[in-house]
Structure 1
């Protein structure tokens, strides 16, 4: 069973965490300015990227995962590739036109919530992508790679080609810093939704695309135009699955939050893992999804929420292994 994930892999440039010795003896060295004065780094590089996080989640859960992406031939590219391969992800990468591995400067708020400032180019060759998607049982795409030109058109064409042959999943994962104009990207997003069998989206993203519309109503709109299953994540409040007239709600998992980096991506990867475990792969994916009981859907959502809870409990995008979840 082969999972192909399409999208950006990059380096998250995050605020450096003060060492226990420094923070205990000189607490003020926790600030970026004072750390720089003391000769300590203000930031650190962590590999990431929404689709890359999904691929790592699948790899750590024991799935055969391939990430199709762009990476520069530089130190950051080597860091990202090593991180992916350490989680048993096959990496198929083209060099971006800039030659640089993309970055996202991370800003954490008081609750550990993350926002991003991107330096990213997405120009994946269509032929490279098509060769991988043609052999997939599950194809997932999301985030910046689905809306940023010139590579976005190749992603849409690949999903269109996979429809009916593989389970197709999509996570819009809105990035206003990259595409601030909602009308300019909404039509593209809605086309990808219509091509998909499964869509996972956060309530924040739905609010950005459809201001003032309740999450369930927005999800039902999407479910009426293509996907069998639309899942809305509600952060600590759990998730909602919409399938036709079925609306399945599951609670969140209580956990102490280190930060939220990679939480939604972990949920996405674990959700695909759970659905694949029910047989929702390949040409029969839509029929299997349609036949799942509400209890089976609830189990899939709970599995995904538990995985995301592990990720938010530790710094950075660090999804759990199957052994961690099963224990």
Structure 2
């Protein structure tokens, strides 16, 4: 497979209304796929986001945020920009309550098969499994999979996933279509209660991906490959402001390093370092290439 350096990310934008005791609400641009596109652009990658936005205050905030980093935004109009109330506990861990739909139609404004077709396609979160828009996402994968590297992050949101067995089927369908998959240990605990994360990763490798990476919170991250390789890295010590966007920063940095031809261990090191930078400051605020290089040097 030959790839161009361009990334296409498909998925939702969400206005994260961050709420914590004793401080006013803060609104941050969010949405897992949007965060990944933003993180890629911050690292110098050409990234296009295919999404849905309204012409409202939240939508304008999100578009300006993405475009300021260099993301090309291709947004289908909707009545209201999706939002989520993010409740932080005393350790900065986030719980979400969503007001969101996903109704993406036939993609437009993106070259899927011509000379400017992307070499990398990232999908995930709500948009990959929520109908009716998920059908459009899967249609793009089917058109691009033979010529682009496909990555997927389920970013499980239990309140939006429906019953577990159906959610597992939908997630595994996306896993089978992907070359690179990342999930958190919390994602896997909800999808496969009681199962060891590495056992699930090996199960997923059997469905088709070349690489499955699992984030393990304070224990760092592990990645397994279809040819039997295994790498694990420790988490970087950091004072946590909140965990919003940490997994998305991990994903963006992992894809950035992999696209540059880095070995698996280096991809993981970049990813956990980017996540550490992100959790050290409020909101989904991933590092620039200079910030990541500085953090890796430390």
TM range (shorter): over 0.9
Number of matched residues?
A: 286
Cα separation, 1, equivalents of 2:220 and 2:272: 7
Match of 2:75 in 1: 93
Contact 1:133 1:139 in 2 (8 A): no
- Compute the displacement of 1:133 (Å): 4.0
The corresponding residue for 1:157 is 139
Q: Match for residue 278 of structure 2?
A: 311
Partner of residue 200, structure 1: 182
Contact persistence 1:4–1:132 (CA under 8 A): no
Are the counterparts in 2 of residues 3 and 66 from structure 1 also a CA contact under 8 Å? Answer: yes
Q: Does 1:8 align with 2:43?
A: no
Question: Would the aligned equivalents of 1:310 and 1:319 in 2 still touch at CA under 8 Å?
Answer: yes
Q: Which runs of 5+ in 2 are unaligned?
A: none
- Structure 1, 243-252 or 215-224: larger mean CA deviation: 243-252
Contact residue 241 and residue 282 of structure 2 kept, 8 A:
yes
Stretches of structure 1 lacking an aligned partner (at least 5 in a row): 17-29, 33-41, 279-291
How do 1:235-246 residues align onto structure 2 when only pairs under 5 Å count? 235-244=217-226, 245-246=228-229
Give the match for residue 302 of structure 1. Answer: 269
Task: Give the Å deviation of 1:229.
Answer: 0.3
- Which range is displaced more, 182-191 or 219-228? 182-191
The TM-score, its normalising length taken from structure 1, stands at 0.85
Give me the TM-score of the superposition, normalised by structure 2: 0.93
SS of 2:159 mapped into structure 1: coil
Deviation at 1:132, TM superposition (A): 4.2
2:22 paired residue number: 31
**Structure index of larger Rg:** 1
Q: What corresponds to 2:105 in structure 1?
A: 125
Deviation at 1:95, TM superposition (A): 1.1
Question: Which whole-Å CA distance do the structure 1 matches of 2:13 and 2:107 have between them?
Answer: 19
Structural mapping, 1:108-123, within 5 Å = 108-123=88-103
Q: Structure 1, residues 19-69: CA drift from partner, whole Å, max 9, x if none?
A: xxxxxxxxxxx636xxxxxxxxx4221111101110110010010001100
Instruction: Give the superposed CA RMSD.
Output: 1.4
The structure 1 residue matched to 2:164, chosen from 172, 179, 182, is: 182
8 Å CA contact 1:4–1:133 kept in 2: the answer is: no
> Structure 1: which 4+ aligned runs deviate by more than 4 Å?
none
SS of residue in 1 equivalent to 2:26: strand
